[in-house]
Amino acid sequence: MVPMSMELDWTRAEFTLPRTIGQVVMAFTGLVIGAWVDQQGARRFILIGTVILSAALYALSFTQTLWQWVLVNGLILTVGASLIGNLVVNVTLSKWFVDFRGRAVAFAAMGVSFAGVLLTPFCSWAIDTYGWRDAWQILSLTTLLCVIPTALVMKRRPEDFGLHPDGRSSNEIGQGLGQKAMDDFNNSLTRREAVRTATFYMLVVAFGLFVITIQVMLLQTVPLMTDAGFDRTTAALMITVASVPALLSKPIWGWLIDGLDARPLAAISAGATGISLFVIIFATQQQSLTGLIFGFGLMGIGWGGMIPLQKVIWAQFAVPPSL
């Protein structure tokens, strides 16, 4: 944000505009690709999305005007990200795991936090060393190298290969150990049935508000802290401070999700995230690095729970249309 806004003479509102547009684009993209992922599996979408996303990242290095930034970042990049993101990945995971869905999604979500641990300081180094234009190109190449091999091994669902969810054998299924998976399938709703329930819209609002906290903090942490007098390296380090507890807490959250009701756990996770924001704002005003570390660490714990909780609650969502 800082080097691009300074060079291109943009306000922060102009810089963040593509992310606002991107959320709308991602919502509509999800409506289109959701049913296709169910039918065709994730591999094709991830491969296509990787090409689109990498091309968009590379194109951002040539940005000269605001309309180019909005078009490439807000539209093209968002479509590519949607095709390789949580929707595609977690829909696939939910088909492969039912009894152990919480742990499976939590382990997968560790990649998001791991990226925060490595990618934020790496990008800061790349910008300081080579400039923001070359940094976009480095991100483009990194995307290709990381995602393409993963896409090639993605499989749609275990039944396509004569297998059962959670790695259950046929004997285990015969003993009734697959009952939860069977109940999960029998309680599944079509999209038309789901959108006729009040629960659907409450989940959209609740998790939509949570995602706002992630988007805002990823975009605004560095300018918030640099405005308060902290250097950019320290500011970027706070994303890492949040990412480490998010990374380490995810397996614990996953274990809790599989053994307990996910709804109160979601309230705890969201509450921790909300409290952390107050701590961060207060610590920034007081120039307290210790307070910032505590605040971002608490936020990381909240983030660590909410991402797998969101996916599991959506997968378990089964309310009769009449309700």
Q: Half-sphere exposure of 177 toward its Cβ, with a 13 Å CA cutoff? A: 14
In a domain, 56, yes or no: yes
**Exposed, middle or buried by CB within 10 Å (0-12, 13-18, 19+), for 95?**
buried
Query: Confidence class of residue 65 from pLDDT cuts 50, 70 and 90?
Result: very high
**Residue 284 belongs to domain spanning:** 2-154+189-316
Task: Judge whether residue 55 has pLDDT over 90.
Answer: yes
Q: What's residue 177's pLDDT?
A: 64
Q: What's residue 321's pLDDT?
A: 38
Q: Which has the closest alpha carbon to 244: 113, 148, 68, 143?
A: 113
Tokens representing residue 175 in the block: 């003993």
For the chain, the C-alpha Rg in angstroms (whole number) is 21
Tell me how far apart the alpha carbons of residues 10 and 64 are, in angstroms, rounded to a whole number: 11
Q: What's residue 291's pLDDT?
A: 92
Task: Judge whether residue 215 has pLDDT over 80.
Answer: no
In a domain, 235, yes or no: yes
Using one digit for the tens of pLDDT, what is the confidence trace for 264-313? 888 899 899 889 999 999 999 888 989 999 999 999 998 888 878 877 77
In a domain, 161, yes or no: no
Contact 63, 4 (CB under 8 A): yes
Q: How many CB atoms lie within 10 A of CB 164?
A: 17
In a domain, 169, yes or no: no
Q: What's residue 158's pLDDT?
A: 82
Lowest mean pLDDT among 33-47, 120-134, 138-152: 33-47
Contact 317, 189 (CB under 8 A): yes
Q: What's residue 57's pLDDT?
A: 95
Q: What's residue 181's pLDDT?
A: 64
Q: What's residue 184's pLDDT?
A: 63
Q: Which has the closest alpha carbon to 102: 315, 319, 317?
A: 315
Task: Judge whether residue 106 has pLDDT over 60.
Answer: yes
Q: What's residue 282's pLDDT?
A: 92
In a domain, 264, yes or no: yes
Interior angle at CA 35, CA 32 and CA 36, nearest 5: 85
Fill in the amino acid letter for 323: L
Q: How many CB atoms lie within 10 A of CB 305?
A: 28
CA dihedral 293, 298, 299, 304 (to 10 degrees): 120
Query: Confidence class of residue 315 from pLDDT cuts 50, 70 and 90?
Result: low
Contacts of 47 (CB under 8 A, 6+ apart): 148, 151, 152
Between these two residues, 170 and 44, which has the higher pLDDT value?
44
Between these two residues, 298 and 201, which has the higher pLDDT value?
298
Tell me how far apart the alpha carbons of residues 203 and 303 are, in angstroms, rounded to a whole number: 17
- Number of domains within the chain: 1
Q: Which has the closest alpha carbon to 53: 5, 105, 88?
A: 88
Q: Which residue has the tokens 């409290």?
A: 275
Task: Judge whether residue 135 has pLDDT over 50.
Answer: yes
Mean pLDDT of 159-174: 76
Fill in the amino acid letter for 138: I
Q: What's residue 322's pLDDT?
A: 37
Contacts of 243 (CB under 8 A, 6+ apart): 113, 114, 115, 116, 117, 120, 300
Fill in the amino acid letter for 133: R
Contact 154, 42 (CB under 8 A): yes
In a domain, 163, yes or no: no
**Exposed, middle or buried by CB within 10 Å (0-12, 13-18, 19+), for 192?**
exposed
- Per-chain mean pLDDT for the chain: 82
CATH number of the domain where residue 33 is located: 1.20.1250.20
Tell me how far apart the alpha carbons of residues 203 and 264 are, in angstroms, rounded to a whole number: 14
Tell me how far apart the alpha carbons of residues 110 and 95 are, in angstroms, rounded to a whole number: 19
In a domain, 194, yes or no: yes
In a domain, 182, yes or no: no
